[in-house]
Chains A and B, each alone.
Chain A
């Protein structure tokens, strides 16, 4: 690795992928796209379970079905199939004019191909036809028999799993496999018809890039972009139940919805408007409706509309100070310098902090705290404990920098006790890389801390790593270094944008090839 860079043009560098079941979000999108919005996804579809290692919801192990999962999948398929009779005539006109096996094949040509994300094999087509035939044999009508076919289709692994054929030590993906990768990465859904039509040519890099560009530009990509940033930053869909209604009586459902939308609009805009790593972390932009305008104390747009505004650069700094993120990284009533600091160290710098001791909560509960403690008071007591200091000495200073944002993300300068908030600090041991020693960052407040972090090469590397984890639904290994390096290069190139970094992912060997090893 001369000059700290990996040699990547020596050979193909494929990536390992795992078969994984569609997440609940992907399922919702897939059902909607599969049937052109005519059938509503079922809420019975089993969601994810467990704690994500990467932070991203697509991890394979999170989506393994458990006891009862197969039954839930069956119920979900039935829920959708039950809607088919009312929509079938619109979906497949021959259902009315010529309800026969030829019509079933016509249906499969469209909807079977969409569901399986590729052309059906003869055996697969026969299997699905047999479901229809069994329905007819049982006395069911054509429409009912088609619903039975759909019931079966939606329980098949070809639909439920994102899975690619075995690859041994490595092989290029075929066009349909690339179409699925691209579609799920950029739209959290199955390929649309244009992508499926282009699939046979997707092994051509220019075609692949053209389709990736098209998908990324589509509105369908917005929710996927938002999901990436939400899962990376730990920003949940905040809700009134998350917050103490005595402390924050104004934080109702409409308020939470505005806050959530504000976050999503900010991150989507970052990708859509040629945002860079710098703007992502240092922009003073915010998106406001009347509620969020009041929140920020700026002029409100006309009722029902949203506007991009510029906030005070002495207070706000990019995605991190978006209210939804600050509210998510907080408790019901109080802030959490631990949550916020952990984001900086673990997800912005990609440091491995390990796991807290099992009795961390009881230790914390037993700590002697002064009356009306400030964040720094509490942190000092925690860090003084040897069993806590290893991680908290790293995390807490970063989190304390955001103490000026309360538990719902409002800017403030003092605690409710009247004590002034001191956001200054020193972030220790930052930036260690091969050949580069770690150093400390001194900052006056969170904006100066974020400014210095934006300039840290490790932050670009980490964001590139997050894009990789998001795409492959797993932690990286040394074998993935070239792909991450390519994304990082796109991010740090002169004029490099977030969208270019995403596009760079799709041209790596890791994206176009896979291996089992």
Chain B
């Protein structure tokens, strides 16, 4: 029953409409986490600045491939920039050809303000100022169990100095560009804020211990695969007639194998779902000295655990991990601390290839980008290791969307955004472990599809129509050079349709 109510609430409409929501919320059971029979759906947004960092051009290291197809197997780097995703390549879908179309309704000359104002809202901005709610806000309203639950949280992922002003964080926004759900940057303060009233209730019932027949059954696809490999090696020593006989057998194995999942059994998730972190769990905590970039590694891991536990403890069902510092992340974990060019230099200026002493080389930029990829992987792995209320992985009920403010940071290009999706495997009809190079789609298309994957029926997100109709003006000549070459005109639609997922 609760699932039906959740779905109806989701069908209310897009863009955060609250019509009739109170009534439905009143109908919704106020269920404690441990009492919930079916796990709730959740959304995590991961955000980093400057897009693909490198490119566009031959040195662009982000795209796993130039056409749609499977990603390399687990353990193999999908691409230079995404090398850190190798351990989770079977859990992700990477997307090319996603553009920020609505950004071109703005004549704001600032290369960052307009993209930031639109990359999560997809709403026509007022110059460089956002006017719409961001994806996490819209989804958060729908996903939360009741108004008493936090609708969404945005957690900073890097300790390098930044403040929480709208100017610096013009991405995760509420209605009409109001401040979104940014949380305290102090990790201890954040833990206190989020978990003060949370008690680790009784753990969900443990999943039944798999019996031997469960284990044998679960590995049918993989054992058939192994047996087929055995046939291949054994046949090598036989004559051609005998090889043909074995080949026929192997083909029957292949036919059978298709009826069984080929994945090995999932390792047992951690035994406890909700385990609120404590302030003492933050290592080497010494605020405000902790804010320095050389602590980014510890900081990011702490924040990821806090985010994951916020979901596991049902503090919220929508959380974002915000890699925001534009100007001075040191990426000391990607380089030996004394050798990182971005301690003395400037990450932002390096990406643009200007200023000094900077290192704009694609190799160094890609290496720095690896910081984001590394912690994205850690986030996914942590979500996979936590048990949900039904014994499944937290990741199985959580859609993770990784986006950026730009397509290519080098010149503020707003096309070909680097997008990675993960989690909620059941919402991917064509499976995961894929790279998708579809038709051109907008970020609005992507977010509408995200909402559909979470149970909605949205076909658009944010502003609709064409650039001209949405802007209320046929004058859209500002910054069109930052769009996909040849695409941006007054008649360019803001939506193109579903993605190839």
Chain A interface (Cβ < 8 Å from any Cβ of B)? 18-21, 60, 64-71, 74, 78, 81-82, 85, 123, 127, 131, 134-135, 137-140, 144, 147-148, 151-152, 155-158, 161, 163, 165-167, 516
Q: How far is the CB of A284 from chain B (nearest CB, A)?
A: 46
Neighbouring B residues of A157 by C-beta, 8 Å: 230-231, 234-235, 246, 249
Which residue, A74, A85, A137, has most C-beta atoms of chain B within 10 A? A74
Neighbouring A residues of B231 by C-beta, 8 Å: 157
Q: Lowest 3 A-B CB distances belong to which pairs?
A: A19-B242, A166-B239, A516-B239
User: In the complex, given contacts A70-B249, A155-B223, A166-B237, what are 18 additional A-B residue pairs having Cβ atoms less than 8 angstroms apart?
Assistant: A19-B246, A20-B245, A21-B249, A66-B252, A70-B253, A71-B259, A78-B216, A82-B216, A140-B210, A152-B227, A155-B230, A156-B227, A156-B230, A158-B234, A161-B234, A166-B238, A167-B239, A516-B241
> Is B255 on the interface with A (CB-CB < 8 A)?
yes
14 contacting pairs across A/B (C-beta < 8 A): A68-B256, A69-B252, A70-B252, A70-B256, A74-B224, A74-B256, A78-B213, A82-B216, A123-B233, A138-B265, A139-B268, A148-B219, A161-B234, A165-B237
Cα A85 to Cα B222 in complex, Å, equals 22
Contact digits for B117-144, partner A, Cβ 8 Å, 1 yes 0 no: 0000000000000000000000000000
> Is B226 on the interface with A (CB-CB < 8 A)?
yes
Neighbouring A residues of B226 by C-beta, 8 Å: 127, 131, 152
Q: How far is the CB of B238 from chain A (nearest CB, A)?
A: 6
Cα A159 to Cα B230 in complex, Å, equals 11
> Is B215 on the interface with A (CB-CB < 8 A)?
yes
A74 near B220 (CB under 8 angstroms)? yes
Neighbouring B residues of A123 by C-beta, 8 Å: 233
> Is B248 on the interface with A (CB-CB < 8 A)?
yes
B215 near A138 (CB under 8 angstroms)? yes
A18 near B242 (CB under 8 angstroms)? yes
Neighbouring A residues of B233 by C-beta, 8 Å: 123
A134 near B237 (CB under 8 angstroms)? no
Q: How far is the CB of A148 from chain B (nearest CB, A)?
A: 7
Neighbouring B residues of A155 by C-beta, 8 Å: 223-224, 227, 230
B216 near A147 (CB under 8 angstroms)? yes
Q: How far is the CB of B257 from chain A (nearest CB, A)?
A: 8
Closest to B253 in A: A70
Which residue, A18, A68, A166, has most C-beta atoms of chain B within 10 A? A166
Known A19-B245, A165-B237, A166-B239; judge A148-B215 contact (CB<8 A). yes
Q: How far is the CB of B269 from chain A (nearest CB, A)?
A: 10
B248 near A67 (CB under 8 angstroms)? no
Cα A82 to Cα B217 in complex, Å, equals 11
Closest to A144 in B: B212
> Is B485 on the interface with A (CB-CB < 8 A)?
no
Contact digits for B152-166, partner A, Cβ 8 Å, 1 yes 0 no: 000000000000000
Closest to A150 in B: B216
Cα A19 to Cα B240 in complex, Å, equals 11
Neighbouring B residues of A85 by C-beta, 8 Å: 212
> Is B264 on the interface with A (CB-CB < 8 A)?
yes
B216 near A70 (CB under 8 angstroms)? no
> Is B267 on the interface with A (CB-CB < 8 A)?
yes
Q: How far is the CB of B248 from chain A (nearest CB, A)?
A: 7
